[in-house]
Amino acid sequence: MKKMSKNFVVNKDIKVGDGFSLVKQISENDVMKFADLTGDYNPIHIDESVAKKSRFGKRVAQGMLCGSLISTVLGMYFPGPGTIYLEQSFRFVAPVFLGDSITAEVKIKDIIDGKAILYTTITNQYGKMVLLGEAKVLLP
């Protein structure tokens, strides 16, 4: 994983507009480990012959595998350790294929009473939006 900072702030001075992004290339190993961890062995994720017949024509990563990178950003980088996830919405707008390099980004939309509302997005290596949503966290 490659960390990419955008107006990164790790203190009580977090403000609206601050954010952080993380880049990860999705591998065969990622998809299989996620399947083992969650039990999501949907053939579109793990069976090339089945995936070839699908609307996408090849294997796609589990949506929540990709979405889990938002959790990684929130808990490990921005706002960082001690952040408590309260809510998350996701809208999956395009597939992520094995080998894609995706960028998970969070950006502070609002801060109210020690809680932050964040825009959450994931784009692929072509800059195409693949996931968008909003999170609410309790700040550390």
pTM of the model: 0.88
SS (H, E, C) 25-78: ECCHHHHHHHHHHHCCCCHHHHCHHHHHCCCCCCCECCHHHHHHHHHHHHHHHC
pLDDT digits (tens, 9 = 90+) for 32-62: 999 999 999 999 999 999 999 999 999 999 9
Domain boundaries of the chain, sorted by first residue: 2-27+61-138
Classify domain 2-27+61-138 at the CATH class level.
alpha beta
**Predicted pLDDT at 3:** 56
